Amino acid sequence: MPEIRFNVVTQDWIVFAGERARRPDQFAEHGIERQPRPARDPQCPFCPGNEAMTPPEIFRLPADGNWKVRVVPNKFAALDSQGELHRRAWGLKRVISGVGLHEVLIEAPEHDRTMPMLEPEEMRSIIRVYHQRYCAAAADPRVAHVTVFKNHGLRAGTSLVHTHSQLIATPIIPPQVRSRMENALRFYDEYGDCVFCRVLAEEEADAERVVVSTDRFLAFIPFAAYSPFHTWIYPRHHEASFALATDEELDDLAVTLRTVLRKTWRGLNDPDFNLAVRSAPAECAMVKYYHWYLSVIPRVTRIAGFELGSGMFINTGIPEQTAGFLRSVPAG
């Protein structure tokens, strides 16, 4: 019989269609066959030697010599980094000037590699750059919220295949972020505890939905996951903002994320996926009720009319089964 589960963090009900559920290994059929790519593409703006194809770089690692990670403004930025913040209102209409930051974080110089293929030290460098750019963007007085994210594959929304992530810093707090913070505050007022910390403790105690456990992080598929293999990576130490993560936590996050991505890559035949750092805004960095985390969302199914029309999701992958499948896949 189908089951409808409640996601206590997002306050959403998710339909788990037992009659339509598939075995975890069947989702690998949806992996898109990747075409072989050269180590360097003379037409790719993210390849070494083509640096003039991008706007002037903001940051590189290492600072001198051949770069391993490079950060540049997005050539087709969604927001204007040079503008001033203005608000206007007339009647029911509200407008804020589209100022903010939109950066591209080029994760490796090689054109033929992807994030799951990177070595541990390379992943640590990327996470450190995530953090450095997040903190720099959050310090901009025009910025209310910073989102670091990655799109891998056409279904995930990528337009350039060279492995990269992005950062968008907006002058407003996005409604979804605000809604989840309000949910978390209500939970804290009612129970005197952080809902994320409670979820982490229960998921670890249940164990059946855990994918990876390390000293500082727990990666698990939530009890009421939105989609098959949708994975959350929670820091064990309570902190509302990604900006507060320590060097030790960043290094452990790199290990945890790499393990999750490699298991997904191997087990699901390199599926398209989205990745996002979810954090409280800088002005709420010290609140007791919120908890930053990272989402990894393999795009092995598609949303359709019911999801768009109702706001509810149908998940055809049972979390206990999909988590067990990923646990069994070697990270390599």
CA atoms within 13 A on the CB side of 214: 20
Whether the full predicted model's pTM is greater than 0.85, yes or no, is: yes
The alpha carbon of 15 is separated from its chain's Cα centroid by a whole number of angstroms, namely: 23
How much is the average pLDDT of 86-90?
94
Nearest to 317 by CA among 271, 262, 250: 271
Beta bridge mates, 298: 273
User: In the chain, how long is the greatest CA-to-CA distance?
Assistant: 60
How much is the average pLDDT of 189-218?
97
pLDDT at 32: 59
Crossing angle between the packed helical segments 247-267 and 120-138, to the nearest 10 degrees: 120
The rounded distance, in Å, linking the Cα atoms of 15 and 5 is 7
The rounded distance, in Å, linking the Cα atoms of 312 and 62 is 45
- Taking the CB of residue 57, how many other CB atoms lie within 10 A of it? 14
How much is the average pLDDT of 234-249?
97
Question: What are 217-235's pLDDT values in tens digits?
Answer: 999 999 999 999 999 999 9
pLDDT at 22: 67
CB neighbours of 245 closer than 8 A, spacing ≥ 6? Answer: 131, 235, 239, 253, 292
The rounded distance, in Å, linking the Cα atoms of 255 and 53 is 32
Beta bridge mates, 165: 105
Strands (E), 279-330: 293-298, 313-315
pLDDT at 69: 97
Strands (E), the chain: 3-7, 12-16, 59-61, 69-73, 87-90, 93-96, 101-106, 145-152, 164-170, 210-213, 217-220, 231-235, 273-278, 293-298, 313-315
State the distance between the two ends of the chain, measured CA to CA, in whole angstroms. 37
DSSP, res 1: -
Which of 272-305 are b and which e, b meaning 16 or more Cβ less than 10 Å from the residue's Cβ?
bbbbbbbbbbbebbebebbbbbbbbbbbbbeeee
Question: What are 13-67's pLDDT values in tens digits?
Answer: 999 986 666 677 777 755 556 778 899 999 999 999 999 999 999 999 998 889 9
pLDDT at 15: 94
pLDDT at 35: 75
pLDDT at 190: 97
Question: Pairing relation of β-strands 273-278 and 145-152?
Answer: antiparallel
Question: What are 264-300's pLDDT values in tens digits?
Answer: 999 999 999 999 999 999 999 999 999 999 999 999 9
Please, what are the domains in the chain? Answer: 10-17+30-328 (3.30.428.10)
DSSP, res 160: -
DSSP, res 238: -
Which one of the listed residues 111, 145, 152, 164 is annotated catalytic? Answer: 164
- Taking the CB of residue 121, how many other CB atoms lie within 10 A of it? 10
To the nearest whole percent, how much of the chain has pLDDT over 70?
97
pLDDT at 320: 95
Active site residue 145: no
pLDDT at 2: 86
Start-end of H helices in 268-318: 305-310
Helix (H, G, I), strand (E, B) or coil at 126: helix
pLDDT at 264: 96
How much is the average pLDDT of 248-266?
97
Type and span of the H or E element at 181 = helix 175-191
Both tokens assigned to 176: 């979804």
Lowest mean pLDDT among 42-51, 190-199, 279-288, 302-311: 302-311
CA atoms within 13 A on the CB side of 66: 6
What value does the mean pLDDT of the chain take?
94
The rounded distance, in Å, linking the Cα atoms of 170 and 168 is 6
